[in-house]
A and B are shown apart, each in its own frame.
Chain A
Amino acid sequence: MPEQAGSGGNVSIEKGEEGALFIRFSGTWTIKEASMEVEGLLASLAGYLPVQEAVIDAENLQAWDSYFISILAAVQDFFTDHGIKVRFSGLPEGADHMIRLASRPGLSEAAIPQEAQEAFLERMGQGFQKLLKDIREFHEFLGEVVLGVISLFSGKNRIRYRDFFVYVQNAGARALPIVSMVSFLVGLILAFVATVQLKLFGAQIYVADLVGIAMARDMGAMMCGIIMAGRTGATYAAELGTMQVNEEIDAFLTLGINPVDFLVVPRILALALMMPLLCIYADLLGIAGGAVVGAGFSDITLRQYINETQTAVPMTHFFIGIVKCFIYGLIVAIVGCRKGLSSGRSAAAVGRVTTSAVVTSIVWIILVCAVITVICYVLGI
């Protein structure tokens, strides 16, 4: 009578007369004390085939829980698959009940969709169709935003100004600390790099030109765009995504309130309004960061540095930076809101759209920056 043992339970297998196979469970069979692999037991049972009948005996069982039932279910399935009748003997009442509960058909088993294997070309086609759909939906969304802004300014639509000012505060004043730190440090780093190189030619005075032009034309706007994509764009996507999960967006729709007018337009306006101001602030702090290095680590004085900056950076550069930053603001807000509204209805989906909002915004910011730079070059400004 071969015997197998888990840490707390034993099972013995014995072939009886008239072709019956007795499988006797004894001891403790619980989740906490389990260590037997059911595959090993099934392999042993296979060695006794063929048999007429399998008798599972649990007369000497001391303790059990669903772990025991999972073993029994596997043994029962094994014999049933081999067309052998299974009989239980001495099962505890609850165990008997649980086996019956587990072996009844599932709720709507027949309705479980089978995943179809798709060919490569089919997947490509579906991917392309999805891309076209996304593009179409994005343009529809853009159209809705434009209509929402127009109807707001023509007085046909109203927004909750209390919410709007909260958005303005979040996108403006509350972003100042991080914008300050990043812009100042970017100016400082640019100045360091420039000082080291220009010192070789005794041309340190041009550090002011480089830092001033770089900050005013590009870096101030770019830093604001990237910071706001990670900060405000992500917030918009997560907020609207969570509203989607909680069916708050559906509630707007069923009340006949367009969520774009009510939720998206004020957010976009708030960020678009604040971005130029943040850009001016970032430009000035970047130039200040450059001045610290330019005047502190070379022969030129602070007065000379400021004079050189004033001469080298005309207002056109600032205007270009401000226009860029305004566009970046629109990108961040539109992408964040669009991603949030298209979120699925789960926590994971909200995480996905938030990440996607940040990445998409940054990619678009860099693309747009490149395009504007080329346009400015062609126009000679």
Chain B
Amino acid sequence: MAYGDFVIQRDLNFTIYRGDIFVIMGASGCGKSTLLKHLIGLMRPARGRIIFGDVDFWEVPEQVRWSLMEKCGVSYQDGALWSSMTLSENISLPLEQYTVLTSSQIRKLASLKLSLVGLKGFDDFYPAEISGGMRKRAGLARAMALDPEVLFFDEPSAGLDPVSSKLLDDLILEIRDSLGATIVVVTHELASIFSIGSNGVFLDNEERTMLAAGNPHDMLKNATNPKIIDFLTRGTGKREAVCV
């Protein structure tokens, strides 16, 4: 991954399995969000391939790429809701674009998605009328609009209090169980990494490559690299105190 000649990360090689909650972790500035942009098709890798199922994402015709992107939903850090639309309209837009559902069916589905994320009754609210945590949830509802096979989360816990953060983690698990979706989460919140992550990759900003991949608990248990130990133990080095 690179911006022009500036390499952000190199030699990345990992697999995200169906049904995984895959965590992309690492210190600030290591390229987590850039990796996410590559995974969701917003950026093309400087070198290498991204394989979606058995398809090379950047080698297929654009139309195929769009149909692959339809299978993905992205929940952005601050929700990235369209401010001129109500929550219901935010969710309805992808349904209007990609399905032949009637407007009443779309309205019902939008309402259902809002209920799934705990925003029952907020259909006609504008993004500016709800709190930051609610906006994140509404962003998640929009990401789920088309029942995606893969759901991406960019820093879902950022800016949330610990209780809301825990509730959002629980919600991610519930969504995985009910939708059967594969989930990719960019985060550096240790509580989230250990409570929801079933698999993951650890990026380093100095060596500009991945230092480890696998289950976060195993990663910590087997880590020999001090950077990984420091990160996953908040610098204390006490492994047993962290594992949850």
Contact = CB atoms under 8 A, between A and B. Distances in A.
Partners in one complex: yes
Interface stretch (A67-75, A222-230, A319-327, A362-370): A67-75
A34 B128 contact: no
A37 B84 contact: no
A70 B122 contact: no
Interface string A331-363: 000000000000011111100000000000000
A380 interface: no
Given A31-B101, A31-B109, A70-B105, A106 B180 contact: no
Given A32-B99, A112-B122, A345 B128 contact: yes
A4 to B, nearest CB: 15
Interface stretch (A96-104, A190-198, A265-273, A302-310): A96-104
Contacts of A299: none
Given A31-B147, A66-B113, A98 B179 contact: yes
A74 B115 contact: no
A30 B112 CA distance: 14
B112 A107 contact: no
Contacts of A32: 99
Contacts of A345: 128
A70 B108 contact: yes
A82 to B, nearest CB: 19
A31 B118 contact: no
Contact of A112 (B99, B112, B121, B180): B121
A207 to B, nearest CB: 50
A258 interface: no
B178 interface: yes
Contact of B108 (A74, A93, A97): A74
B121 A104 contact: no
A69 B175 CA distance: 14
A67 B99 CA distance: 11
Contacts of B116: 66, 98, 101-102
A30 B148 CA distance: 12
A102 B174 CA distance: 11
Contacts of B111: 70
A118 to B, nearest CB: 17
Contacts of A34: 99-101, 105
A250 interface: no
Contacts of B147: 30-31, 65-67
Interface string B12-30: 0000000000000000000
B178 A70 contact: no
B97 to A, nearest CB: 12
Interface string B145-167: 01100000000000000000000
Given A31-B99, A346-B128, A348-B83, A37 B105 contact: yes
A101 B119 CA distance: 11
B84 A346 contact: yes
Interface residues of A, number: 35
B178 A94 contact: yes
Contacts of A73: 108, 112
B73 to A, nearest CB: 12
A230 B92 CA distance: 35
Contact of A66 (B82, B83, B112, B125): B112
Assign chain B's interface to a size class: 35 or more
Contacts of B101: 31, 34, 67
A38 interface: yes
Contacts of A95: 178
Interface in A48-101: 65-67, 69-70, 73-74, 93-95, 97-98, 101
Contacts of A94: 177-180
Residue among B99, B115, B126, B137 with most chain A CB within 10 A? B115
Nearest to B115: A102
A304 B150 CA distance: 79
A60 B178 CA distance: 19
Interface string B109-135: 101111110111110011110000010
A45 to B, nearest CB: 16
B72 interface: no
Interface in A15-64: 30-32, 34-35, 37-39
A106 B174 CA distance: 15
Interface of A: 30-32, 34-35, 37-39, 65-67, 69-70, 73-74, 93-95, 97-98, 101-107, 109, 112, 344-349
Interface of B: 82-84, 95, 99-102, 104-105, 108-109, 111-116, 118-122, 125-128, 134, 137, 144, 146-147, 174, 177-180
Given A70-B112, A94-B177, 17 more contacts: A31-B101, A31-B146, A39-B104, A65-B147, A66-B116, A69-B112, A94-B179, A101-B116, A101-B174, A104-B118, A106-B119, A106-B120, A106-B122, A107-B137, A112-B121, A344-B128, A347-B84
23 contacts: A31-B99, A31-B147, A32-B99, A65-B179, A67-B109, A69-B112, A70-B108, A73-B108, A73-B112, A93-B177, A95-B178, A97-B178, A101-B178, A102-B112, A102-B116, A104-B118, A106-B118, A106-B120, A346-B83, A346-B128, A347-B83, A347-B84, A349-B83
